Chain A
């Protein structure tokens, strides 16, 4: 379906823009009870270096080993297998929450791993699109947007930290910045928004500001009523909707740590603070550094460490806010990396990948799907989800079909952006 056709369809049922959408409102009211975090290991991670380990057994075709570690060194935590660190690579300190042993021993019980997913592409853009929307075609919103769409009144319903954040206009993505920025925006008329003692000193006089605010709102209504160019009229409607939403950014500040971390951990802290304060429903987080065409082991390892540290911090924040039963986390990447090294000790793009899920509704300590010794996807029986030569190869379509059902994406949205594959119980 072409994007324009989609937008027409949206318009046809009154869903274009970020307007209040009766069709997408949850029946139980406007308060979100479930939240979604997606984490993109941007660039294409190597599952064989993490959760689908193979080892250094020479390949029959002479292309060399899949990994630079011994198969006998592959580790496990509960039912999960995970990779050891490649030889010649300095491990992070074991007290690091991103050390494989530390991370998997702590989180294995809540982790669901799905291996052997065929992304059918090795292009970054198309891989990201497929992985996060469930469709290779353009025009389909990221799952985080689908999750947030029923809550247009939340001023930050869908927080995006970049990557694939196409929303098809069902919700407006919000990009965030440093915590100091939130103070400035939470108190837009304060001269000194970061100083609690001077917070009440205002730019526009205290006695007149409410009049200004009222005048702004009334003028926008008049402008919209008088406008004859449909495009501008639509823009004014969008602006009015957002302005009318209950922007209580101050509450976000109450849930942010005093010192917000950098990188993925910082993104996680902002996302959970926004969830806890009722401002957001979903967030996509981004960790980069995985496109390791050269010196793969050397460069990929610290990226994995940072990724796991970020996930751990995310979980810590979730627990801190008591939201373990409300927040679902999905971790994935553009695609995978080749099951052999290139001449520069790097690994190029490979269409097979894995995802991890944890949090609300996820039964952990499980692996679904498999790959062979050359990191090629094995077919699965659609009922038992066990390897079966007569089964099917899992693609992101299957993941998203199952994910949408699991998250309860509303029928109207599901039909508007259809994913027509068999349903698998991947997340239940």
Chain B
């Protein structure tokens, strides 16, 4: 990249052609978008030049003579009319004047003269500066990078949220940036810096971005529907839904998704996505003690409203109330998110809500049940907003609790506790990470080593520059939690530390009048910060695709990394724009992600983009929860143990093989407990593969005979064959092939033509297992189904069957079990 600056510098040295300096401000005012001519890889690109008689052109000139700096015109296309001309050409003198060319991070003014042979020779070149460049380098580059692609805190300015106009960006800089010190770049500094950012970092109509995205081959809308349906509502699409998509295309898919996002299962998934980051499910009874959440709220006199644990008789009802109340309290922050999503409120309400969520059980624990109008006091799924008024603790009147959404959630505050030395900084870090998409820990890359920490100062976080880097960001938010103690309770007027940055956000001090409602004030500031939208996009994108958005490439990044990053950034910005434009409705964001090429990626149209797209796509190893739900969607029952006692085990999550971690495989298969284990495994290991193998075998053993018990037209797996269908006739062979085709489609979303080699190979597996089995009957095997595969009772009720299925004299059922076992441990089964 830096070749051109060197060449130009040497030319400058040799020719001493410093003829005139550019009036940068005059020029910059004419620039916008990607109009700026650039020099890269020996190519001079002028995005737009207006030439009389030729119109608006985009020119590319190739450097052909490095000694004389001679360029050959290699491309002339119609320019994007939205761009601003970046050069002029004088037909009388044949001079091409380019007031500013960007080469890497240096800028030059160039004049070129047309020579015989249609080549241009540089006649003057002078290094120059773009308006705002010095201000940008001084105020912004340390965090955003000289190239605007993000630095220590990974905030990219490429197509940034506030980059819609100079005035918008200028106002934002003047009021907010640099974080913690906006006064250092206000007025002229802010407007010049905004011009600079818009000129350099806006990617508009970047052909490489377009090519990069076009290289992705997307799933069909029908397959996208299936993928989204399994992910969002844990079921296959209905025939009606599929037809709607077939008839109406993308509009139909959006409409179907709208319908799905009304279903209860959808909200389970939303809660799961957010919990992977917020981790408040740590207090659910399955993840710890049965009363962890309730113990955190013991100062509420009715916490154990069903009877004190020290005194009450611990009968079944007591235990049930304990678990339901505990889990209802634990789920409060995630239910707030669900409430906001369900009612299509702006997502900002998850921070600004002046209420919290309760169901009948948690309402009793908090002592607010009588103030609310529940329809069914035993319905754990009925959630209502509530407020805590006139709170009193130890005969001290605390007053009304100033709720601020998740920020004041008892579960959230306890999940991220504080201490006398921590002073809410852990909470601040999490708030930045979750709701501002800023990883303050990334700043630790420049953390001083042990010797450099000046601990002689009484308040190094205020006066040691090494410390202030982080703490200027961290501490104002931490101080905003000053009224909330280490146990997560509201304690207004508590003494706060004066040897740290006081409450505030993004350079603004919290007004003194807001002190009692400090977190409400903080929330009001955070939700107008565009980074909140970035955070929502990141959370949902991660949840739906299984991958974090790409981080800005590092200093030694390849072009492929930049191409991948830039293309994805443009897509994410478009998603964000839709989200913001639609009242920050999370459902909009989900629909846009589902329809995006990054969710639908199914392959590449050209191998040349393989490196660029090496991380592209939503293909993921299914989490144990997702796999558990997928099995139910495809087979009509869950993988529980033991399967022959399914009717007994079907409501007991301790029996769910992929949800329980005591007897079964939840953590082995990469699940989290939101406490000690907080990161999901995303790559398989030896034990996980063994789980897949057992899963395929057990499910096949159970599902195949069970399917044969129902009428053919109602079967999920075996609609085309019977237990007696052997390949003894062409009709039977055709039926077997049809069934195999169906199994590939149903289980693996693999719609293959009947003559496809894959189906032929599966057919061969059926035939070979059938023949091997038939040969073994009478010696190593008999005419009965394996004991656990026999069906003698009804799956759901356990009632005895009038016509049990226990024998398999011709080995047909067992051959199908083998085929099903083969398919149900397949990559396409355990990944989505």
Q: Could you list which residues of chain A lie within 8 angstroms of chain B, going by C-beta atoms? A: 1-5, 8, 11, 17-18, 42, 118, 120-126, 136-138, 154-156, 161-163, 165-166, 169, 172-178, 180-181, 184-186, 188-189, 191, 201-209, 211-212, 215-216, 218-220, 222-223, 227-232, 234-236, 238-239, 242-243, 245, 247, 249, 279, 286, 288, 293, 338, 342-343, 346, 348-350, 377, 392-395, 397, 421
Contacts and interface: CB of A to CB of B under 8 A. Distances in A.
B614 A3 contact: no
A279 B817 CA distance: 31
A232 B617 contact: yes
A211 B700 CA distance: 15
B827 A189 contact: no
A5 B686 contact: no
Contact of B685 (A42, A137, A173, A288): A173
Contacts of A348: 419-422
B550 A215 contact: no
B299 to A, nearest CB: 14
Contacts of B619: 229, 231-232, 235
A265 B348 CA distance: 46
A155 B687 contact: yes
Contact of B768 (A154, A169, A178, A211): A211
A44 to B, nearest CB: 10
Contacts of A191: 701, 786-788
Nearest to A245: B686
B557 A5 contact: yes
B761 A122 contact: no
B676 A206 contact: no
B773 A228 contact: no
Interface in B585-613: 601-604, 607, 610-611, 613
Given A219-B761, A230-B610, A176 B421 contact: no
Contacts of A338: 420-421
Contacts of B769: 205, 207-208, 211-212
Interface stretch (B67-75, B190-198, B446-454): B446-454
7 contacts: A162-B673, A177-B668, A211-B768, A219-B761, A230-B610, A242-B685, A242-B689
Interface stretch (B99-107, B518-526, B774-782): B774-782
Given A4-B550, A169-B683, A207-B773, A177 B821 contact: no
B444 A188 contact: no
Chain B CB within 10 Å, residue with most, of A175, A208, A238 = A208
Q: Among A121, A124, A203, A249, which residue has the most Cβ atoms of chain B within 10 A?
A: A203
B86 interface: no
Nearest to A202: B786
Given A5-B556, A286-B676, A181 B604 contact: no
Interface stretch (B233-241, B648-656, B659-667): B659-667
B812 to A, nearest CB: 12
Contact of A188 (B451, B670, B690): B690
Interface stretch (B40-48, B691-699, B795-803): B691-699
A46 B700 CA distance: 53
B305 interface: no
Nearest to B616: A231
Nearest to A224: B827
Nearest to B450: A393
B818 A208 contact: yes
Interface string B688-719: 11110110011011000000000000000000
A145 to B, nearest CB: 12
A181 B665 contact: yes
Contacts of A220: 826-827
Contacts of A236: 827
B554 interface: yes
Contacts of A162: 673, 676-678
A136 B442 CA distance: 9
Nearest to A347: B419
A236 to B, nearest CB: 6
Contacts of A184: 694
A111 B491 CA distance: 47
A124 B686 contact: no
Contacts of B681: 172-173, 175
Given A211-B818, A234-B614, A395-B449, A223 B827 contact: yes
A342 B420 contact: yes
A350 B773 CA distance: 67
A185 B691 CA distance: 6
B603 A185 contact: no
A208 B814 contact: yes
Contacts of B780: 206-207
A89 B815 CA distance: 66
B331 interface: no
The 6 closest A-B pairs by CB, nearest first: A155-B686, A208-B769, A228-B603, A348-B419, A393-B450, A185-B690
Given A163-B676, A205-B818, A229-B617, 20 more contacts: A4-B551, A120-B449, A125-B441, A138-B439, A161-B676, A166-B679, A175-B667, A175-B687, A203-B701, A203-B788, A203-B817, A215-B765, A229-B604, A229-B613, A229-B616, A232-B831, A247-B690, A342-B420, A394-B450, A395-B450
B614 A11 contact: yes
A3 B444 CA distance: 14
Contact of B697 (A118, A169, A178, A188): A188
A189 B693 contact: yes
Contacts of B259: none
Given A138-B441, A185-B694, A203-B786, A172 B665 contact: no
A8 B558 contact: yes
Nearest to B777: A207
Nearest to B419: A348
B65 to A, nearest CB: 35
A293 B670 contact: no
A138 B442 contact: yes
A294 to B, nearest CB: 8
Contact of A178 (B611, B662, B787, B825): B662
Contact of B698 (A120, A176, A203): A203
Contacts of A3: 551
Contacts of A17: 683
Given A212-B818, A215-B761, A172 B486 contact: no
Nearest to B686: A155
Contact of A293 (B419, B445, B677, B683): B419
A1 B604 contact: no
B811 interface: yes
A152 B554 CA distance: 28
Contacts of A395: 449-450
A219 B765 CA distance: 11
Contacts of A177: 661-665, 667-668
Nearest to A246: B686
A241 B365 CA distance: 52
B686 A156 contact: yes
Contacts of A343: 420
A215 B827 contact: no
Nearest to B819: A212
Contacts of A209: 818
B419 A349 contact: yes
Contact of B451 (A161, A178, A392): A392
Given A208-B769, A230-B610, A231-B619, A181 B761 contact: no
Q: Of residues B451, B815, B827, which shows the largest number of chain A Cβ atoms within 10 Å of its Cβ?
A: B827
A178 B585 CA distance: 44
Nearest to B788: A191
B684 interface: yes
Contacts of B486: 293
A4 B673 CA distance: 26
A306 to B, nearest CB: 14
B689 A239 contact: yes
A205 B765 contact: no
A1 B603 CA distance: 30
Contacts of B826: 216, 219-220
A162 B681 CA distance: 11
B561 interface: yes
